[in-house]
Structure 1
Amino acid sequence: MTPMSFPRVFRSIPKFMLKKIIAFTLAACAVLFPYMVLRGFPSTSMQGQFNTQLLLVQHQSQEAPPSGNPQESLEVEKSEEEGYHVIPPDGSDQKHGPLKNQRVYLNKTMAASKQREYLEENHGDAKSRFDHEGQRQAQRRALSHDVILDSSSAQIVRDSPRLFGSDKTSEVRQVVFVKVHKAASSTMQNILLRFAMSRNLSVLLPRQPTRTSLNEITPILNRNMVIQQPPGRNFDILCNHVIYNKKQISKYIPPSSVRVAILRQPLKQTLSALEYYTKYYPYGGIRNGFNRYKDDPINGFLHHPEQFYVSKNKTLPTYCFINNRMSMDLGFDTTNFEQSKRNKTKIRRFIKSLENDFDLMLISDCFEESLILLRRYLSWSWRDIIYVKLNVAKHSPDSVWAKRPVMDSTAQQAFLQWNIIDIELYDHFFPLFLKKIKSEHMFTEEVTAFKQLLKRVSAFCADKSLTESLKVEKNVWSAEFAVSKTDCELMSMKESTIVGVVRNRQLKRFGKHIDGA
């Protein structure tokens, strides 16, 4: 049939039938279009947010990789968003190399494809996976959003606190946040401490005034380690460094509290920790490793991570902050730690326990998305989650820390074996995070609007000539509020300073009742 003869098909249809077909088509569009708008068309903007995230090394087989000729070196291309993408220089398929039983650092196109799979499957509300304790079910029902669908429209219930701002009677005020090292956790801690101060909440803090961590070496939290509350009172917030242990923490904060942690892509997290602890706490193995590879510590570590680890500390792996530290912070049992890296059953059991224990596992690589998800789950306001970046490593372009990682096959294999627990941890929770935000209504729109606000806040705080507060207008997600220069000072405080401020305020309120503070 030629294009010119195509209209003749319609001429053969009786006019009354043609009118019915057109009327039916228009009616169907009228019904479906509003639903598609609210449910979301395939969103290139949402997918694009994750296209440059670095996908972790993902171990797919319990067997050791097959032997073979060394794969050609892989060139690391650093994207504008600071995501490392390993790309074969000849463009060949990586699966034919010696690491064919593993997915290694995917290139940008493959990363986008994989992440789209996560976004497109199971759009149902992934929050149901976390309904694991009866005492939290009522609270979660109160924080859920409702959707009403009828034959002609789809609308979101406008009084939902998760989508449209907080209600002081429904916001969550008891939160356990596990401060994972080098995963934007100092910024998250600052947010939580400011929230606690604004509502006169009690924060679980170390007893020694010079400390900012509760216990980074063991999960034990004895009374002599923490400042005490008046008799009969619980703490509301935990956000200082601690090794997670549900029983120990429950001695101070009710089990009904919302439990949150944050993860970061394992390679970026480990290299950030390597630089930080080499510069500021160069102890033991890190010092020895750096002295051996002064000209290029990043690639020295990636090829020989064991040389940055002192053997005498193998009985206490928690003294090392570049060895699966995210898993250690979240309570992985470090007994026979090196052997545990090969124990797939133990690793899977650990990850499952975290899925049962935690309400939210956030991703620092998607920080604004994490904050909006947190705001919705806790029924907080935009004012509660504004921030400026804290504790960000800075170095000159000619610094040894500015060198790019060279992820050849030797480095890939070494890092996979060294950091396998953190890799599998991130591999499990990152797709769950993507599915969770996919299930949220008007999520991309809120993230975009919030990012615009953060630019305004950053410019306001940086301009010392401004004295009046920054006025933030009311919108669909937030009530009107103002940002003052005092807010800027609090948001910019380093960890030790703001912890000290909170401590002094707390002691002033309860000091005479506190035992041995």
Structure 2
Amino acid sequence: MSHIFLKHVLLILMTGAMVGVFLLFREHAGIRQFERNYKTEESGREHSKESRPSRRECTRKNNIGFFKMHKCGSSTMQNILMRYGDRHNLNFVLPWRSNVFSQTHLRLSRDLVKSFPGHDYNILCHHTRYSKEGFDSLLPADSTYVTIIRDPTTLFESLYTYFRYDERFGVPLETFLENPQQYGRSNSYGYEGTGCYAKDSMLFELGLDDIEKADPKVIEEMIHRTASEFELVMIMEYFSESLILLKELMCWDIEDVSYFVVNGRATSFINKLSDETAERIRKWNDGNTKLYRFFNETFWRKVKKFGEDRMREEVAKLEELNKRMADRCVQTEILNAVWHPDGVDIKSYKVKDSARNDRDCQLITKEELAFTNYLRKKQLEKYFGLKLMDEL
């Protein structure tokens, strides 16, 4: 009798497990199908007259910690935040000098920050290595934490070009990927300086070290911890959609998230990847791949909840606003008028003569280092009465 009872219990447990796996698979498949439908839908189709909620009553939020991930469109996002904070006279957490707190192994701490009286900061948006304790120590308790990630294949190609790994390792990208372990320190795939981004860069920036990046359990824990600490993980490939979700989360206006692409490479410096090279990148950056797949699914759940047609309409409004700003502000795109790595052409903007005194045009085209210096001097004037030396 006890054996028969045990068999029934095991059968029930196995059935439940199978049902759970089936439901999980069905949910993942549904999210992937929703993403495909959104991407392939014609932008000009007539929207269905589904019921849409009117703008909800909400309170504008000003406190935000943006973790700036390398080569993920984060400079464009940073420009949005710096313009927003400047417009509303908010306080920024700023580095002592330059435009980074750290971009190697140092995690964010108060020691890396230019101190201002009261420590009543609102926005953190400069490069550092993530530490929740560091963010929490500098920002109000009600701050919203946001970051952005990118498809690991195009991310690695961008890093390899931008950090000139072809010179560092002495081989082109395709050769590196044939046996990437041989280019690191012995018995490790860790690297010195900016080489720390040469494997699973997003995991490294979010706080994992070499040994931790090699442990699937630690990676899984970090992914779920990131999901609990960040209210929004944006996707670079869907930048406008991400900004609409941010606008909704922060109760901002669409004008608050208008943008021009900042720090983008010239097209001639973007290498098209073969399917084989892309697959090798995913294999080498398996941790980044797991991270991206997880948050790509959570992103599309948010879009689905927001409403597919509503999202299309909001994105269309944002892109029309961006076009109007470009017509108002930009004479032409130019190359290498801002800081750029040797041998890599970076685009920026020449402002129209008619927009020289247009504050919005000046700031939306302002490169990161100059904008950071302007904000630092503005806060020095605000707290210490020092004269703001530079014009916009």
**1:485 maps to which residue?**
358
Residue 171 (1) aligns with residue 70 (2): no
**1:191 maps to which residue?**
80
Residue 430 (1) aligns with residue 305 (2): no
- 1:467 CA drift (Å): 3.1
Tell me the secondary structure at the aligned position of residue 145 of structure 2.
strand
Aligned residues of 1:119 and 1:434 also touching (Cα < 8 A): no
- 1:335 CA drift (Å): 4.8
Aligned residues of 2:104 and 2:196 also touching (Cα < 8 A): no
Question: Pairwise mapping of residues 52-63 of structure 1 onto structure 2 (< 5 A)?
Answer: none
**2:327 maps to which residue?**
459
- Which amino acid in structure 1 is aligned with residue 197 of structure 2? F
What is the aligned length?
A: 325
Distance 2:229 2:176 in 1: 33
Residue 439 (1) aligns with residue 305 (2): yes
Tell me the secondary structure at the aligned position of residue 361 of structure 1.
strand
Tell me the secondary structure at the aligned position of residue 301 of structure 1.
helix
Residue 387 (1) aligns with residue 253 (2): no
Residue 314 (1) aligns with residue 190 (2): yes
- Which amino acid in structure 2 is aligned with residue 445 of structure 1? E
- 1:403 CA drift (Å): 4.7
**1:227 maps to which residue?**
114
Residues 243 and 255 (structure 1), Cα distance of their counterparts in 2 relative to 1, 3 Å cut? farther
**1:301 maps to which residue?**
176
TM-score (structure 1 length as normaliser): 0.58
**1:287 maps to which residue?**
167
Residues 322 and 461 (structure 1), Cα distance of their counterparts in 2 relative to 1, 3 Å cut? farther
Tell me the secondary structure at the aligned position of residue 160 of structure 1.
coil
Tell me the secondary structure at the aligned position of residue 251 of structure 1.
helix
**Where does the alignment leave 5 or more consecutive residues of structure 1 unmatched?**
1-111, 121-152, 163-169, 470-483
TM-score (structure 2 length as normaliser): 0.75
**1:27 maps to which residue?**
none
- 1:249 CA drift (Å): 1.6
Distance 2:355 2:363 in 1: 17
Tell me the secondary structure at the aligned position of residue 163 of structure 2.
helix
Tell me the secondary structure at the aligned position of residue 260 of structure 1.
strand
Residues 402 and 466 (structure 1), Cα distance of their counterparts in 2 relative to 1, 3 Å cut? closer
Aligned residues of 1:287 and 1:308 also touching (Cα < 8 A): no
- 1:220 CA drift (Å): 3.5
Deviations 1:453-512 (A, max 9, x none): 21121122124667379xxxxxxxxxxxxxx73211211111111111111101111136
Aligned residues of 2:69 and 2:149 also touching (Cα < 8 A): yes
Question: Pairwise mapping of residues 111-190 of structure 1 onto structure 2 (< 5 A)?
Answer: 115-117=32-34, 156=52, 158-161=54-57, 170-190=59-79
CA radius of gyration, larger in = 1
Distance 2:130 2:175 in 1: 31
Residues 415 and 155 (structure 1), Cα distance of their counterparts in 2 relative to 1, 3 Å cut? closer
Residues 453 and 511 (structure 1), Cα distance of their counterparts in 2 relative to 1, 3 Å cut? same
Q: 2:373 aligns with which of 480, 500, 512?
A: 500
Residue 242 (1) aligns with residue 159 (2): no
Residue 259 (1) aligns with residue 151 (2): no
- 1:161 CA drift (Å): 4.8
- 1:159 CA drift (Å): 4.8
Distance 1:199 1:230 in 2: 19
Residues 435 and 223 (structure 1), Cα distance of their counterparts in 2 relative to 1, 3 Å cut? closer
**1:361 maps to which residue?**
233
Question: Pairwise mapping of residues 9-158 of structure 1 onto structure 2 (< 5 A)?
Answer: 115-117=32-34, 156=52, 158=54
Residues 114 and 275 (structure 1), Cα distance of their counterparts in 2 relative to 1, 3 Å cut? same
Distance 1:498 1:506 in 2: 12
**1:421 maps to which residue?**
287
**1:43 maps to which residue?**
none
Aligned residues of 2:92 and 2:123 also touching (Cα < 8 A): yes
Distance 1:495 1:181 in 2: 13
Residues 119 and 406 (structure 1), Cα distance of their counterparts in 2 relative to 1, 3 Å cut? closer
Deviations 1:402-446 (A, max 9, x none): 5533333xx466433420111000000001101101111422111
**1:124 maps to which residue?**
none
- 1:222 CA drift (Å): 4.0
Tell me the secondary structure at the aligned position of residue 250 of structure 1.
helix
- Which amino acid in structure 2 is aligned with residue 204 of structure 1? V
Aligned residues of 1:318 and 1:325 also touching (Cα < 8 A): no
**1:30 maps to which residue?**
none
Aligned residues of 1:176 and 1:237 also touching (Cα < 8 A): yes
Residues 244 and 468 (structure 1), Cα distance of their counterparts in 2 relative to 1, 3 Å cut? closer
Deviations 1:10-33 (A, max 9, x none): xxxxxxxxxxxxxxxxxxxxxxxx
- Which amino acid in structure 2 is aligned with residue 304 of structure 1? N
Distance 1:201 1:156 in 2: 33
Residues 309 and 489 (structure 1), Cα distance of their counterparts in 2 relative to 1, 3 Å cut? farther
- Which amino acid in structure 1 is aligned with residue 167 of structure 2? R
Residues 242 and 366 (structure 1), Cα distance of their counterparts in 2 relative to 1, 3 Å cut? same
Question: Pairwise mapping of residues 370-409 of structure 1 onto structure 2 (< 5 A)?
Answer: 370-394=242-266, 396=268, 401=269, 403-408=271-276
Deviations 1:149-173 (A, max 9, x none): xxxx9865535157xxxxxxx2110
Residues 159 and 405 (structure 1), Cα distance of their counterparts in 2 relative to 1, 3 Å cut? closer
CA RMSD across the alignment: 2.9
Aligned residues of 1:305 and 1:414 also touching (Cα < 8 A): no
Aligned residues of 2:108 and 2:130 also touching (Cα < 8 A): no
